[in-house]
């Protein structure tokens, strides 16, 4: 099987390759093509990735190219992991909202919208070129943020796409360790959208162990996801790490104003990693890769690709899929992040208990924002940007929406063809 990685020069990529090296018996990959316009990065990452495979005794070969069509031809699956504008654009996303007293974050709020506007047109162009070269049957696994909006864009254009994030698998691993259970035996009742989700159940052998987790380990979990212990117990849920931007917005803004932007930290980590990857004696994944983020990224991606391409029985994964009636309060074409059955025919959301209003209200509001954000990304226009921002719960005021829209368009003008005139 051939696997293509668009954005293969990312320092994340060795995580994926390391996961492939460890699953030789279940994921029959014999060729991995890393596609990236940055020759230095992709060749550095590609060389190290090949050494990882060789050291593990895996027969797959790694190729690198800047040519998308050459890279995806004959691929069974294409994984997209892009950052349009690089860490410089991310640094802007994390800081320009502060002028309005709003949180600066690369996947939600005004910063997340800026990233969506830059990213959606690029990903749609890539997906269409993939379809022309690799065919309609090729799976696209989208790891590009904001995952929900980008995946919805792909699905609306008829692509065979599934969105993936590592939040759920990270929590699954933590829960399993705390419960002394095998990770494969832990099933999540994962509810919400990408970066807006709650664990409303943790099932082991059909028994919900979430009450036990909240009784015995709430303090640890609260630190992990930045949530008050009593709130989690009252709600009987564990929120994702990203809910702190909603539930503790003002405190997060104050913290951001005193801390170094994450983009700058990641840039330093990436520089360090690339130097390590260049060392011909380095044949295993460095510990410093954990600083880059994306815990269990490799496991989530490899397991999903296996489920989509192996032709075996359906597996359960938390992915981003069409709603299709799963949440009655959302339109069918909304993209939600839930536990789903996945096989070679695609991913289908698993039905779950009615979502309580305390969660459903926020899910519905952010879904409406994502609809408007996608319209702005596809059609362009400063007013569409302002309308999307006004609908976002983290902005929600006329003056802030207008000011942020003007700043966003000005800062990202080079990436927005409609804004250059």
N- to C-terminal Cα distance for the chain? 45
At residue 137, the 3 state secondary structure works out as coil
At residue 23, the 3 state secondary structure works out as coil
Catalytic, 242? Answer: yes
CA torsion sign for 389, 395, 396, 397 is negative
The answer to whether 315 and 299 are in contact (CB under 8 A) is no
DSSP string, 33-62: EEE-S-HHHHHHHHHHHHHHHHHHT---EE
By C-alpha distance, which of 366, 361, 379 is closest to 336?
Answer: 366
How many other C-beta atoms lie within 10 A of the C-beta of residue 267? 16
Rounded to whole angstroms, the Cα distance separating 54 from 63 reads 14
The answer to whether 338 and 326 are in contact (CB under 8 A) is yes
Phi and psi dihedrals of 233, rounded to 5?
A: -70, -40
CA-to-CA separations, 112 to 11, 115, 233, 267, 389, in angstroms, rounded: 21, 5, 30, 19, 10
Task: Quote the tokens at residue 271.
Answer: 């520089």
Q: Which residues have CB under 8 Å from 381's CB, separation 6+? A: 418
CA-to-CA separations, 293 to 11, 13, 183, 350, in angstroms, rounded: 10, 12, 20, 28
How many other C-beta atoms lie within 10 A of the C-beta of residue 285? 19
Q: Which residues have CB under 8 Å from 30's CB, separation 6+? A: 1, 2, 59, 60, 61
Q: Which residues have CB under 8 Å from 122's CB, separation 6+? A: 82, 84
The answer to whether 232 and 240 are in contact (CB under 8 A) is no
Catalytic residue among 12, 40, 241, 242: 242
DSSP string, 84-116: TTHHHHHHHHTTGGGGGT----SSSHHHHHHHH
By C-alpha distance, which of 274, 259, 266 is closest to 292?
Answer: 266
* Active site (catalytic) residues: 242
């Amino acid at each position: 099987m051939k696997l293509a990685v668009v954005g293969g020069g990312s320092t994340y990529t060795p995580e994926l390759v390391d996961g492939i090296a460890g699953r030789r018996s279940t994921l029959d990959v014999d060729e991995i093509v890393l596609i990236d316009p940055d020759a230095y990065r992709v060749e550095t990452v590609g060389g190290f990735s090949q050494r990882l495979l060789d050291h593990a005794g895996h027969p797959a070969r790694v190729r690198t190219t800047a040519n998308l069509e050459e890279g995806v031809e004959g691929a069974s699956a294409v994984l997209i992991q892009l950052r349009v504008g690089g860490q410089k654009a991310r640094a802007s996303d994390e800081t320009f909202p502060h002028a309005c007293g709003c949180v600066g974050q690369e996947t939600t709020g005004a910063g997340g919208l800026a990233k969506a506007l830059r990213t959606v047109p690029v990903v749609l162009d890539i997906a269409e070129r993939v379809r022309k070269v690799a065919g309609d049957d090729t799976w696209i696994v989208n790891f590009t943020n904001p995952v929900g909006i980008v995946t919805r864009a792909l699905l609306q254009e008829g692509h065979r796409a599934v969105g993936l994030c590592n939040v759920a698998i990270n929590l699954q691993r933590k829960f399993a360790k705390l419960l002394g259970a095998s990770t494969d035996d832990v099933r999540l009742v994962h509810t919400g959208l990408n970066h807006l989700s709650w664990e409303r159940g943790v099932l082991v052998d059909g028994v919900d162990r979430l009450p036990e987790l909240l009784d015995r380990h709430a303090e640890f979990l609260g630190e992990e996801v930045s949530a008050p212990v009593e709130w989690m117990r009252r709600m009987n849920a564990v929120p994702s790490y990203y809910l702190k931007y909603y539930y503790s917005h003002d405190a997060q803004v104050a913290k951001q104003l005193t801390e170094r932007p994450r983009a700058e930290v990641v840039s330093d980590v990436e520089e360090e990693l690339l130097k390590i990857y260049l060392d011909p004696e380095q044949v295993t994944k460095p510990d410093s890769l954990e600083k880059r983020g994306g815990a269990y990224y490799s496991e989530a991606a490899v397991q999903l690709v296996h489920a989509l391409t192996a032709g075996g029985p359906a597996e359960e994964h938390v992915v981003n899929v069409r709603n299709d009636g799963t949440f009655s309060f959302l339109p069918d074409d909304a993209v939600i992040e839930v536990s789903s059955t996945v096989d070679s025919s695609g991913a289908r959301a698993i039905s779950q208990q009615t979502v309580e209003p305390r969660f459903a209200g926020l899910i519905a509001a952010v879904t409406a924002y994502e609809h408007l954000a996608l319209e702005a990304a596809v059609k362009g226009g400063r007013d569409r940007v302002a309308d999307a921002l006004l609908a976002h719960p983290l902005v929600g005021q006329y003056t802030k929406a207008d000011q942020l829209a003007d700043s966003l368009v000005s800062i990202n003008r080079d990436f927005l063809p409609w804004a250059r005139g």
